[in-house]
Structure 1
Amino acid sequence: MQNTSLVRRLCPERGGTLHKMASFRIHRSSLVTLPTTNLAPIPLSGFDSMFVSSEVPLNFVYLFPSPTIPFPELAESLKHSLAQALQSFHPFAGELTYLSSSRTIAIVFPEKGACVTFIEAETVIGLKGLLDAEELDTEALRQLVPDIRREVLPAPVMAVQVTQTVGGVVVGLALDHTVADGHGLFHFLNTWTAAATGRSGSSNPNPLPLHDRNLVRFDGDEEFNRAVLRHFTPNLPRVREPKLHPTAKEQQCPVVRQTFVFTATALQHLKRRHLASTNPDEQLVPSTFVAIAAHGWVSFSRASSGSSADDRPVFIVFLVDCRPALMSLPADQVYAGNCVIFFKVGLKGSELTGPEGLARALSTLTEAVKEAKADPLKYKAEYIVEENQGDRIFLVSGIPRFGYELDLGFGRPARIERARLGYHSEAFLVAGREPGSVHAMVAMSAENMPAFHQAFMVDGVHGRP
């Protein structure tokens, strides 16, 4: 069955040519349908609503060297295991829908059946070029995942694309952030891996997820939800305004992408460097997240034009998981909806770029993470990123527990990338392919990336997998 809206979005030009250097062509578009019917709508929580207007879903590309399985058989195997995984993740097969009677948004399951679009495509792009690239071809990456974005609801929650390349296969996944955070996506990928490799029926199966939004209720949550929707989506069912052309700023200084690999040795070196910069009486070995985030914050400040010349704050924004504060075991481990909130902390640009910049960044971020974990909802109304500070904000997020363990029945991927990052100064962290390593996927303006690259590189860090 052909899903024409997704196909048009993927291939707007006749013949499927999307990229001036490469051709993409759709072979087939079908639906992976849930056998269950009459599923009740799932109203969004306040945590979900924060992402309704997000321009960028959770979109990943997984690059696999040529598997031994023929492509048609591989695609059928993927659809079969995806159907199994969706049975316990039915919200991923729904549609985001505006309910005019209550002026709210819910995950709704159409009467014709909840489903996920599955696209089979091919491209003349060589896998080796994607694997070896240090500065990524962002346009090519975007064509390797389905575009599920809609300006007006309803909108699909998830879609999957498998693309045959020269020398390999790419699996692209797009999941609307409104329905799940990194924790929920991690759980889904584990479930899909178990289904694909035959582990779902083992003696230690992947635990079933929970989707009940009542699990993330808190005092004042309904008003918080309404306030979020009023602020970000005042014209529902429209969730975002049309964007026909790049802005003048985007044309003059586009965003570019690079991926940095922190080996286990590099992380040890970075943590020792952090310890050497701090007061001996206050020395604590920083977590991997704090070590990379503080290092990135300082590198961003040094790379950003104007940040070192004044005392205006340069902010770092990170996501705090609220599950431990709102739930107890085992619910906090298996809740698959959103349960994260933004936390922001700033230092003067001159402080971050000065001789004590690393020590200040480390101590400030360490205290902020500690405070956020103790009371993640304390500043729930302050997660909004003000537009006039956009060029002075560095966003750090990620899925540190899951990356290259994904196995969809034909081995582990050789490389993982976000197809697109949602902010123009952002780092997204995932566990690396080698034990103890971390990959930092970075988006930065073309103007600032060279200086950021120079500041961010430490011993044992390299700019490609």
Structure 2
Amino acid sequence: MSSVRIHRTSAVILPTTNLAPLPLSPFDAMFVSSEVPLNYVYMYPSPTTASFPELAESLKHSLAQTLQSFHPFAGELTYLSSSRTIAIVFPGARGVAFIEAESTDIGLKGLLDAEELDTEALRLLVPDIRRDVLPAPVMAVQVTQVVGGVVVGFALDHTVADGHGLFHFLNTWTAATAAANGRSGSSNPKPLPLHDRNLVRFDGEEEFNRAVLRHFTPNLPRIREPKLHDPTAEEQQHPVIQETFVFTATALQHLKQRRHIASMNPVGEQLVPSTFVAIAAHGWVSFSRAISESSADDDKPVFILFLVDCRPTLLMSLPADQVYAGNCVVFCKAGLKGSELTAPNGITRALWTLTKVVKEAKADPLKYKAEVIADNQGDRMFVVSGIPRFGYELDVGFGRPARIERARLGYHSEACLMAGREPGSVHAMVAMPAENMPAFRQAFMVDGVQGRP
């Protein structure tokens, strides 16, 4: 069994102490009760230019610099009883927990070469910020010296930012670290991050915000209800496997070309799918085929759930040198019968359905806001998250990471997409019930898709 020893925990605090509480927007509130924070594990070979204490101090210093532009990340989710709402507040001495740790039985080579992802070890490399009752920390960082390498793990409450805001933060932080180490870094973020929730207001937002909080957190300040069953025992009884698949640039080209040829609608119009739509549709069909082997009712719908960015519509007036760093996404859901998805033309149906929903959501993102409080669980739901444009370009001062993983995904059947290490590639980090993973893997690994980075 793997273990990690914590040597030091300190707080990276904001230089300003008089920040006003930041109320949540409805886009934030829908993530308050999320079971799993946003979490990533960045793995690096041991640097030759700096010792581990020097590296940790450099990261901590650049984090303090970055938080000056991303102050909500150093806050604390707090229940305001006077207004019966939740806000991000800024207790002076708390800030972001920065953990320095060591493991003598977790090795970088083992993490990189293992046929099966060691999720037990990965979870030890990410700080735990999950709380069932408010207040709750927004973010924490853990830097761990492992055998043959260094691992940077972090957790961020999804209530504060979506993927666009998160990766803008990471680009800023890693560029600051690289610059402090005498390197220009591969990322040079220029846009100013904006955190004013008034930027994403819409008609009826206050009523909708209250409806979201009533639905997800009816017993504030408690944001998660006690489990009726032991989570560990339940996980052992119904294990979930996590694997990472690599779509090389060539594999993506083949996937899109094959889908392009197949994807002709009844009036003869052809569709050239985006990278996200191509992989999402492929995953949806693969998931449907996987669960059809263990389900007798193939006429029931199989759903796909994903997030659509609202910035192009709601924030189109922002200048190019500014970007909204809070949540600005909505859930979108589509469903087709299992028999339709597993049919020979199932991929065509999936592609056209996804394309239609994405197009409608981008034109009118608030059309789908009701999906926020819909029932989005169940064993016939496939979730696609992440942004396939961001990933391995991040540099903490001594090169790109050897590998990036999620320590844990938020849904039992989910694919999280991110840009791969090789140019033009995409990684799909997939969580799937153990009973369904073999069939999913067989359906998903086509056109040169690789089984691991």
TM-score strictly above 0.5? yes
2:278 to 291, 294, 298: 291
1:260 aligns to what? Answer: 245
For residues 100 and 456 of structure 1, the distance between their equivalents in structure 2, rounded to whole angstroms, comes to: 48
1:460 aligns to what? Answer: 448
Q: 1:307 to 1:376 in 2, by over 3 A?
A: farther
1:356 aligns to what? Answer: 345
Q: Which runs of 5+ in 2 are unaligned?
A: none
2:123 to 134, 138, 142: 142
* Residue 64 of structure 1 pairs with residue 44 of structure 2: yes
1:114 shift after superposition: 5.2
2:72 aligns to what? Answer: 91
1:28 aligns to what? Answer: 8
Tell me, yes or no, if the aligned pair for 1:78 and 1:196 is still in contact at 8 Å: yes
Tell me, yes or no, if the aligned pair for 2:215 and 2:373 is still in contact at 8 Å: no
For residues 411 and 255 of structure 1, the distance between their equivalents in structure 2, rounded to whole angstroms, comes to: 33
1:360 shift after superposition: 0.8
1:331 shift after superposition: 5.6
1:133 shift after superposition: 2.5
2:375 to 372, 386, 391: 386
| Matched residues, number | 442
For residues 395 and 200 of structure 2, the distance between their equivalents in structure 1, rounded to whole angstroms, comes to: 31
For residues 276 and 323 of structure 1, the distance between their equivalents in structure 2, rounded to whole angstroms, comes to: 32
2:159 aligns to what? Answer: 178
Counterpart AA for 2:282:
H
Tell me, yes or no, if the aligned pair for 1:194 and 1:206 is still in contact at 8 Å: no
Tell me, yes or no, if the aligned pair for 2:304 and 2:334 is still in contact at 8 Å: yes
1:135 shift after superposition: 2.3
For residues 354 and 155 of structure 2, the distance between their equivalents in structure 1, rounded to whole angstroms, comes to: 31
For residues 370 and 205 of structure 1, the distance between their equivalents in structure 2, rounded to whole angstroms, comes to: 29
**Deviation per residue, 1:142-161 (Å, 9 max, x gap):** 11010001111000000000
What aligned pairs does 1:60-459 form with structure 2 within 5 A after superposition? 60-68=40-48, 69-110=50-91, 112-113=92-93, 115-123=95-103, 124-198=105-179, 206-243=190-227, 245-246=230-231, 250-279=235-264, 281-304=268-291, 305-306=293-294, 309-330=297-318, 334-386=323-375, 390-459=378-447
Counterpart AA for 1:390:
G
Tell me, yes or no, if the aligned pair for 1:159 and 1:173 is still in contact at 8 Å: yes
1:382 shift after superposition: 2.2
Tell me, yes or no, if the aligned pair for 2:309 and 2:329 is still in contact at 8 Å: yes
Q: What secondary structure is seen at the aligned counterpart in 2 of 1:361?
A: helix
Counterpart AA for 1:148:
I
Tell me, yes or no, if the aligned pair for 2:75 and 2:138 is still in contact at 8 Å: yes
Tell me, yes or no, if the aligned pair for 1:213 and 1:337 is still in contact at 8 Å: yes
Counterpart AA for 1:104:
T
Q: 1:249 to 1:188 in 2, by over 3 A?
A: same
Deviates more, 1:27-36 or 1:441-450: 27-36
Tell me, yes or no, if the aligned pair for 2:330 and 2:368 is still in contact at 8 Å: no
1:46 shift after superposition: 0.3
1:454 shift after superposition: 0.4
Tell me, yes or no, if the aligned pair for 1:344 and 1:383 is still in contact at 8 Å: no
Counterpart AA for 2:371:
E
Question: Share of identical aligned residues, percent?
Answer: 81
Tell me, yes or no, if the aligned pair for 1:57 and 1:177 is still in contact at 8 Å: yes
Deviates more, 1:321-330 or 1:193-202: 193-202
Tell me, yes or no, if the aligned pair for 1:33 and 1:83 is still in contact at 8 Å: yes
Q: 1:75 to 1:374 in 2, by over 3 A?
A: same
Tell me, yes or no, if the aligned pair for 1:63 and 1:170 is still in contact at 8 Å: yes
**Deviation per residue, 1:289-318 (Å, 9 max, x gap):** 010000000000000145574311100011
Tell me, yes or no, if the aligned pair for 1:307 and 1:392 is still in contact at 8 Å: no
Q: Which runs of 5+ in 1 are unaligned?
A: 1-20
Tell me, yes or no, if the aligned pair for 1:30 and 1:118 is still in contact at 8 Å: yes
**Deviation per residue, 1:318-343 (Å, 9 max, x gap):** 10111112112436851000011100
Q: What secondary structure is seen at the aligned counterpart in 1 of 2:378?
A: helix
For residues 253 and 331 of structure 1, the distance between their equivalents in structure 2, rounded to whole angstroms, comes to: 49
For residues 435 and 319 of structure 2, the distance between their equivalents in structure 1, rounded to whole angstroms, comes to: 45
1:242 shift after superposition: 3.1
Tell me, yes or no, if the aligned pair for 1:190 and 1:206 is still in contact at 8 Å: no
Tell me, yes or no, if the aligned pair for 2:385 and 2:415 is still in contact at 8 Å: yes
1:362 shift after superposition: 1.0
Q: 1:205 to 1:176 in 2, by over 3 A?
A: closer
1:459 shift after superposition: 2.4
Deviates more, 1:249-258 or 1:37-46: 249-258
